[in-house]
Structure 1
Amino acid sequence: MAAPPSHPFVYIDAEALHAVLPFPSLISHLRAGLPAFSGDIHCPHRVSFPVPTSPSAALLLMPSWCAHPSLPYLALKAVTSFPANSPHRPSIHATVSLFSSASGVPLASVDGSALTLLRTAAVSALAASLLVSPSRPPSTLALAGAGALAPYLAEAHLSALPSLSRILVWNRTKAKSAALVAKLRDAHPGVAVEEVDGMDEAVSAADIVSCATGSQEPIVRGELLKPGAHLDLVGSFTPAMRECDDEALRRGRVFIDFEAALEEAGELVGALQRGVLRRDDVAGTLAELAAGTVAGRRSDDEITVFKSVGTAVVDLLAAQLAYENYTAAKNA
């Protein structure tokens, strides 16, 4: 009889993932892991295949691996996009397969949709925690968008920035913003959560503005950002998408999660093409911020902008933490 594997294969579903990846732990892990391992993690460009069984459907594959002894993993994120799905069925699904990079042994299958939501929100909150003014703690967070990511962004920011006491929610579909407001009020009775009619109102009042929309037209007008505000741009991931205008980039000191943002994010691609922004104007990446090799905020009144597009680097780091926490809890 064959010996049992030394690393039993595990499946980590969404419920288990939320239990083993609380935001304080995940944000702390990314703050330490990004500067430590970013240079050792290999992430080939994602590959997309059309799926002829449904209109515009696609399968996307995103591999990543690291040979560092402290991060001996290989991950493959598989994402399916089925835009023709009914409104009651999500159009995006994902799974992350985790392997040993030393032996190739399969270790885990992780709910990729939940992992993406958790790590994306954690990245935004980490950037905000590194860029807000320590002498002027933020009190008001504005959320643009009320989709699946929005409650995660709220939770992550509340975790990273306990000074936040007010959340303003705007969404083009009022029913969705009302539902998000009710959800956040139930979860955080000590936080004032309000629905606003226009994004201008939210931008003018907020210390942190976090956008997670698919907008192709600017929804944040830079002239309305308060001195000292922090703008977090999550939604755009193609050159055609754009969540803020050029004035926000002119007024703000710009940081990115990874270099890919300069080629994929519509706000930055367009600003570079129009000469509004130069490559040298980008102050640094999140890994550099976390490592302290680039300066963050330089004054209380400086406006900061963080643009993320996400890469397999954070998928690998988040999957690592999920797997190690899950197996540690199982073996306790």
Structure 2
Amino acid sequence: MKRILFLFLLVSLPAAAAERLAVRLQHGGMLGASESQRVLGLTEELARELTGLELTQAPEGLLSGRCGAQDACLRAVAAEVKTEHVLVLGVVPKRQGTMDVDVAWVDTVRGGVSRRSVGGVPPAAFAKELRPAVAALVPAFARKGWGGVVAPGTARLRVDGRMTEPGEVVALTAGPHEVDLLLPSGEASLARERIAEGVRLRLELRPDFVPQAGESRAPRGKGLRTASYVTFSVGALAIAGSLVAGGLSRGALRGVEPCVGAQRDCTSFSSASPVYERAGRYARTGNVLLGAGVGLATVGAGLFVFDLLSSPSE
């Protein structure tokens, strides 16, 4: 039943598109128009090669300022584009025609900023020198041929058998994966989900799937099955008790010799009467236990079969 719940949860989500990436160039007015366009074009081509994200044109790819290592400035520059990711290049021309380049990756969804610096880059080898820096900044889930999944709130994921931390974006190769969602309430749901390239799939819980505060939500059928186990076990114990009572009844009659014909060494009536009475009590108790045990065991077995047949299969 848990599997059915989670499958419904995932397929109810709209199809997710790849997240978007924009490239912005800052050079402080030190580059000419043609050189700026060349650097911007080479950087965008690198982004297409290294990421599975959808590359979009920023309204103004070229900026006159330069943020350097100021995270607040980089976030402000990225916020203007309104994409999930922004690659910001700060270029400073140096002597002998080389450039110092500050490369920053801004994740506008999670607010993260990561940076690399490359010094003394010759214009002819710009793409070659810049490639390792850009590749190091691309989030794991955004790499070419990869996607990701993240659990809601404080829930945790076990993906392909590996446990993750709450809020962690789990990078996965594009394709099907086993995703086990573990809720703080103790519930767990397993489904096979197809991860798309460049997509950070955010699992969302239906309101009726999340337990309220102080509410214990046992999976459907758990109470009925527990009742079947308890009822059948009590019935089995009653049947066992009836067998014990029957044994005691037969044991009580040992040593009592009936009087047959002219035999005079039989047990006297005064001695045999209380023995037969005790044996009769044992026998009656055994019959009651046997009847009750058979009835309870039958009811328990019936509840189990009913629960088994009425529960949706996985």
Structure with greater proportional helix content:
2
TM-score of the pair, normalised by structure 2: 0.21
TM-score of the pair, normalised by structure 1: 0.20
Q: RCO (CA 8 Å, sep 6+): is it higher in 1 or 2?
A: 1
